[in-house]
Amino acid sequence: MDQSFIYTGNPARILFGAGKRAELGAEIRRLGCSRALLLSTPFQKSDVEAIAAGLGDLAAGVFANAAMHTPVEVTEKAMAAYAAAGADCVVAFGGGSTIGLGKAIAYRNDAPQIVIATTYAGSEVTPILGQTENGVKTTVRGPSILPETVIYDPDLTHALPVAMSVTSGLNAIAHAAEGLYAQDRNPIASMMAIEGIRALKAALPDIVPNPGDAVARSNALYGSWLCGSVLGMVGMALHHKICHTLGGTFDLPHAETHAVMLPHTVAYTETAVPELLLPVAGIFGTSTAASGLFDFSAALGAPTSLKALGLGADDLDRAAELTTTNSYWNPRPIEKQAIRDLLQRAWSGSRPE
Ligand code: NAD
């Protein structure tokens, strides 16, 4: 085997399994802490309050105002709540928005973090924080950002609405697909990527008709852990860049945008590195990874066009401009007209070959 790579693992303690939420108190103590500030969005406030009640004295308070894109003004309020409560660690209960808030606190005061992940976005296993100030989203990396402990309890994902389960699962698959052709790819990340896609491919079609399918929920969460780990381990390329731009500039929803764009960005890159995406085509049983991903999304009822997400046809020129202004690495070089064509196909929702 003629390989050359650098592998750096992200140290995190992972507890996986139905009922594992019961370990939260022991995990807080294991970190040497005794006063946790619990975080959630307003939507999951009652759930996180119930968890806090179960923790007794280990819960110092609840801050249930996490918001999309981690606005700095929300983080500042959470920092004040952390200080007022005399907290010594944070527990983020939820998806990428809540986890982002926990990371933003830890980035500022190095608080130990425990995450109870309830979507498939994967942020809980990355040392990456995206935060927004005055409408501008910036990304930072650092060891204090990576949560120390992650609890994956599939029981807590049964209530994730079907549409969100699907798009969040496709968001996870996007991390893995880009990981396979990452410039700094390595064999461990690639194994995790393939296994993660395989698990989500098996699970999502069973979740759509039966969101309470315990086996499928467990498989999907397992897949999301693997895909998120890939995101944390290797660099992303065209797909994540385009989604970041569409989300940031045109305010398109995060997971849905990933779902729509993935077959098209993969089609763009697949022509340059078909051998690296062969495992994905194999998982879907199609001649190309791109067509397999498109058919899979469509069969799950995911949105398949940018038009359906509310992007105007007259925004496409600007989107192409913005995604090609700063150069960045992709296995197939970024060419403005080809990206404009890609966006047109994604806008109308045409199936890649
Ligand atoms: P989200 O965290 O915004 O959650 C969406 C909504 O679903 C929220 O109201 C939430 O409370 C609710 N919800 C979450 N889990 C639920 C459950 N099990 N049952 C019922 N409702 C539930 O969505 P997301 O897609 O997880 O996260 C998106 C954000 O995360 C974006 O801002 C994105 O940029 C960020 N993100 C960051 C990274 C990273 O590594 N830094 C990785 C992935 C995503």
pLDDT in tens, 288-313: 999 999 999 999 999 999 999 999 99
pLDDT, mean of residues 208-222: 98
- pLDDT at 265 > cutoff 90: yes
pLDDT, mean of residues 273-281: 98
Q: Is residue 8 part of a domain?
A: no
Q: Do 295 and 207 share a domain, yes or no?
A: yes
Q: Is residue 4 part of a domain?
A: no
Q: Is residue 118 part of a domain?
A: yes
Q: What is the pLDDT of residue 257?
A: 97
pLDDT, mean of residues 92-116: 98
pTM: 0.97
Q: What is the pLDDT of residue 4?
A: 93
Q: Do 194 and 337 share a domain, yes or no?
A: yes
Instruction: Supply the CATH number for residue 302's domain.
Output: 1.20.1090.10
Which residue has the least CA distance to atom 19 on ligand 1? 160
Query: pLDDT tier at 158 (50, 70, 90 boundaries)?
Result: very high
Q: What is the pLDDT of residue 353?
A: 83
Q: Is residue 353 part of a domain?
A: no
pLDDT, tens digit, for every residue of 22-54?
999 999 999 999 999 999 999 999 999 999 999
pLDDT, mean of residues 190-203: 98
100 Cβ below 6 A of ligand 1 = yes
Cα 197 to ligand 1 centroid, rounded to whole Å? 19
Q: What is the pLDDT of residue 137?
A: 82
- pLDDT at 65 > cutoff 90: yes
Residue 112, φ and ψ in degrees, nearest 5: -60, 145
67 Cβ below 6 A of ligand 1 = no
Which residue has the least CA distance to atom 7 on ligand 1? 95
* Range name among 131-135, 213-217, 230-234, 255-259 with the lowest pLDDT average: 131-135
Q: Is residue 2 part of a domain?
A: no
Q: What is the pLDDT of residue 333?
A: 95
Cα 70 to ligand 1 centroid, rounded to whole Å? 11
96 Cβ below 6 A of ligand 1 = yes
Q: Is residue 170 part of a domain?
A: yes
By residue count, the chain amounts to 353
Q: Do 171 and 31 share a domain, yes or no?
A: no
Q: Do 126 and 274 share a domain, yes or no?
A: no
Average pLDDT value over all residues in the chain:
96
In a mutational test of the pocket of ligand 1, which residue from 49, 72, 97 has the highest number of ligand atoms less than 8 Å from its CB? Answer: 97
Residue 3 CB neighbours (<10 A) = 6
Q: Is residue 110 part of a domain?
A: yes
Which atom number of ligand 1 is nearest to the Cα of residue 120?
26
Which residue has the least CA distance to atom 20 on ligand 1? 160
Q: Do 179 and 282 share a domain, yes or no?
A: yes
Which residue has the least CA distance to atom 40 on ligand 1? 123
Q: Do 179 and 306 share a domain, yes or no?
A: yes
Q: Do 227 and 305 share a domain, yes or no?
A: yes
Cα 95 to ligand 1 centroid, rounded to whole Å? 3
Q: What is the pLDDT of residue 248?
A: 84
Which residue has the least CA distance to atom 16 on ligand 1? 160
Domain boundary among 102, 124, 157: 157
Domain boundary among 157, 184, 210: 157
Cα 201 to ligand 1 centroid, rounded to whole Å? 20
Which atom number of ligand 1 is nearest to the Cα of residue 255?
25
In a mutational test of the pocket of ligand 1, which residue from 21, 39, 40, 43 has the highest number of ligand atoms less than 8 Å from its CB? Answer: 43
- Please give the share of the chain, as a percent, with pLDDT higher than 90: 94
Query: pLDDT tier at 3 (50, 70, 90 boundaries)?
Result: confident
Q: Do 132 and 210 share a domain, yes or no?
A: no
Cα 119 to ligand 1 centroid, rounded to whole Å? 6
Q: Do 188 and 286 share a domain, yes or no?
A: yes
- pLDDT at 126 > cutoff 90: yes
118 Cβ below 6 A of ligand 1 = yes
Domain boundary among 112, 138, 157: 157
Q: Do 92 and 183 share a domain, yes or no?
A: no
Q: Do 133 and 53 share a domain, yes or no?
A: yes
Q: Do 167 and 147 share a domain, yes or no?
A: no
- pLDDT at 218 > cutoff 90: yes
**Which domain, by its residues, includes 320?**
163-348
- pLDDT at 1 > cutoff 80: no
Domains identified in the chain, total number: 2
Identify which has the larger pLDDT, 247 or 214: 214
Instruction: Supply the CATH number for residue 124's domain.
Output: 3.40.50.1970
Nearest 5°: CA angle at 8, between 6 and 14? Answer: 150
Q: Is residue 5 part of a domain?
A: no
pLDDT, mean of residues 171-195: 98
Across the strands, what pairs with 260? none
123 Cβ below 6 A of ligand 1 = yes
